[in-house]
Amino acid sequence: MYQIMVIEDDPVIQEELSVLLRSNGYEIILPKDFFNIISEIRKSPPHLLLLDINLPVQDGFKICSGIRTFSNVPIIFVTSRNTDMDELNSIMLGGDDFITKPYNTSILLARIASLLKRTYASEHAEVLTYQEVILHLENSKIEYHRNSVELTKNELKIMVFLFRNAGKIVPRADLVDYLWDSQLYVDDNALSVNITRIREKLKSIGVKDFIQTKHRQGYLI
């Protein structure tokens, strides 16, 4: 599990950012105080840093250049200042990315994911399994007892979200949110159409009643 250190002086943002990142499968480290951040990172280096610029004691730029003297850990600047000087400074001092508040969480998560992927080549097999149904992410196929069928982009993303939340009821609104975050602009009606198509495809490979509709609640696998 990737460890992300969140360096942010606003307590609400720090806490909520931690909740958000934890729920997306990251481990969060918070600095104990703002005096010894650099030595703390030296002792236990995280996989990625989210760094605010306006901080007490030392500003983000100083921390960044301090870290760069000994580590190449990816650093994303997250700040409310958005002049070009700030962006330029953050790049010059070794920051990997620059996101301005009020950031969009899906963009933030996407940037974190892509930066982690680039830095630490992924070793996870791109396969999800649930009740003997196997979802192949790399070639967009779903397999059951050696029978497989191809899925479209929309269908694949829907299945990914259902697989990740297997055993839980997934509200339709959450599913639509997730699809939009993946840049697939599917509305409520189109979602129903997609689900119907997925059910047909599952039937063709011999899986029945895999996706259940919970009335007024959502879907469940």
Q: Which is nearer to other proteins, 55 or 135 (CB)?
A: 55
Q: Strands of 127-130's sheet, edge to edge?
A: 127-130, 133-136, 141-144, 147-150
**Nearer Cβ to other proteins (112/133):** 112
We find the least distance from the C-beta atom of residue 12 to other proteins, in angstroms, to be 4
CB of 105 or CB of 148, closer to other proteins: 105
Q: How far apart are CA 177 and CA 191, in angstroms?
A: 11
Residue 18 sits at the vertex; the CA angle it makes with 20 and 220, to the nearest 5 degrees, is 30
Minimal distance, residue 44 CB to other proteins, in Å:
25
Measured from the CB atom, the residue of 91 and 125 that comes closer to other proteins is: 91
Q: Which two tokens stand for residue 129?
A: 């399994």
Secondary structure element (H or E) that encloses residue 195, with its range = helix 188-204
Radius of gyration, CA atoms only, the chain:
21
Binding site for other proteins (CB under 8 A): 10, 12-13, 16-17, 19-20, 23, 80-84, 87-88, 100-107, 173-174, 176-177, 180-181, 183, 185, 187-188, 190
Taking the C-alpha atoms of residue 207 and residue 217, their distance in angstroms, rounded to an integer, is 23
Closer to other proteins by Cβ: residue 150 or 188 = 188
Shortest distance, position 78 Cβ to other proteins, whole Å? 9
Helices 188-204/172-181 angle, 10° precision: 90
Rounded distance between C-alpha atoms, residue 198 and residue 15, angstroms: 38
Q: Select 13 or 205, whichever has its Cβ closest to other proteins.
A: 13
Q: At what angle do helices 105-119 and 172-181 cross, to 10 degrees?
A: 60
Query: Nearest distance from residue 81's CB to other proteins, in Å?
Result: 6
Shortest gap between Cβ of 20 and other proteins (angstroms)? 6
Closest contact distance (angstroms) between CB of 13 and other proteins is 5
